[in-house]
Amino acid sequence: MMRTMAVVGTGLIGTSIGLAASRYGVTVHLLDRDETSARTAAALGAGLVGAPEAPVDLAVIAVPPSTVGAVLAEQQVRGLARAYTDVASVKSQPTREALGSLPAPERFVGGHPMAGREKTGPLAARADLFESRSWVLTPTDITSQTALNHTLEMISMCGAVPVIMGSQEHDAAVALTSHVPHVLASLMAARLEQAPEPAFRLAGQGLRDVTRIAAGDPHLWSDILRSNAASVSRVLHALHEDLSVLLESLDDLSAADVSYQPHETTGMTHLLNRGIAGLGRLHDRPSGKPAHRTSLRVTVGDRQGELARLLGTLGQFGVGPDDVTTSVTPSRRNLSVELSVSAVDVAWLLRKLTEDGWEAERVDPVPRPRDHRETSCSAARSVLGAAVSAVSLPDQPRQEGGEAARAAPPPALEYVCTSVTAATRS
């Protein structure tokens, strides 16, 4: 059972992990060369500033990819923890460095939570940032069961879903799904730097959607792209080929001395159809939005503009017009608005709505506080299902007894982690 943790690097991800773990009574120690960042994270409730007096159960290295190896080695030498993981978005480089230079490489398991925001720093952190998001783990053939167990437990505290992958497989996947999209957003946003002022009067939501993630920290993203240069380059070369086809079609169509022929748009139409097909595959997948949400119903009065006023309030909590549904209550003939919000935000939103004079109520019962021992087993079952689907797991026995029951990890989790570790060594 994990009781202590250290987070090295108190940016968005590190602080969010500290906030999530602190909810379960874990003592979190916050380390950062930027004292202001560490103190800000502590003031938010993410933990205590400063190194622990004794080794903690798990240390989370939350620094840019190119510095993971050096920071990890430094912390292992000082004996910061009994197990280590990282959160860098590139895995091959940290894994090579861990295997080649760490004093105890078996105590490290690479990790990458597939969550983030366009904002950075501890003030952007949220305890529910990782809810229902994938969290990649890249164990090696020497990864210890203790390192894997503690990391799985931390992931379950964050509400995420663990996924086992190889380092190179991970890097190729995130190049396509994360790194290159950021590059494309930045390239499009860069076109706006010298755009004529009248163009901005025509800018709509589509442009904002395409360029939103370009606001990320350029120093961090330069580090990410450098660390995953080979995988990113392969995707960009494939895009270059598609752009060449599109440009050839457009150049032919724009030539003044060439009359339009239907076959000249074949390549362009083919690319657009491929885009629709790819989007369809993405929409067939789970959205990754937090699953632990509470539904609310708000009654709207008959006064003109009441719904707009309500949407203004909801917007402060990240709820927009696309996130609500409206209906007329048969008994009272009033307009009702239904929405769902994170369980973390529901109390704040209800208080705000009541203060503003709205009649608001929960539609479904308040979920009981999650026992992360149970979710650890559930999360580990997900890992095992992906890694060694042939293994059948016993049901987890229910434990009682308050603190006494919290003393040890659930047997099913031990079984799962043993099986996963064995699978990664085969």
pLDDT at 216: 81
Surface-to-core class of residue 234, CB atoms within 10 Å of its CB (0-12 exposed, 13-18 middle, 19+ buried): middle
- pLDDT tens digit string along 64-79? 988 999 999 999 999 9
Q: Are 32 and 10 within 8 A, CB to CB?
A: yes
Residues 6+ apart with CB under 8 A from 316: 352
pLDDT at 419: 33
pLDDT at 144: 94
Domain boundary among 327, 343, 362: 362
Q: Which domain holds residue 318?
A: 293-362
In a domain, 309, yes or no: yes
> Same domain for 314 and 235?
no
> Same domain for 9 and 106?
yes
> Same domain for 88 and 21?
yes
Domain boundary among 335, 362, 389: 362
pLDDT at 285: 61
CATH number of the domain at 207, please: 1.10.3660.10
- pLDDT tens digit string along 192-209? 999 999 999 888 888 888
Q: Where are the alpha helices (DSSP H) in 79-217?
A: 92-101, 145-157, 167-174, 180-191, 197-200, 205-211
User: Two tokens at 203?
Assistant: 């800018």
User: What is the spatial distance between Cα 416 and Cα 379, in angstroms, rounded to a whole number?
Assistant: 10
Residue with tokens 């169509």: 253
pTM: 0.65
User: What is the spatial distance between Cα 348 and Cα 339, in angstroms, rounded to a whole number?
Assistant: 15
pLDDT at 259: 62
pLDDT at 292: 58
* Beta strands across the sheet bearing 335-342: 325-328, 335-342, 293-300, 359-362
> Same domain for 330 and 400?
no
pLDDT at 33: 93
The total domain count for the chain is 3
In a domain, 367, yes or no: no
The dihedral over CA atoms of 382, 385, 391, 396, expressed in degrees to the nearest 10, equals 20
54 phi/psi in degrees, rounded to 5: -135, 160
User: Two tokens at 167?
Assistant: 């380092």
Residues of the chain with pLDDT under 50: 289-291, 366-426
Strands 108-113, 134-138: pairing is antiparallel
Q: Are 236 and 258 within 8 A, CB to CB?
A: no
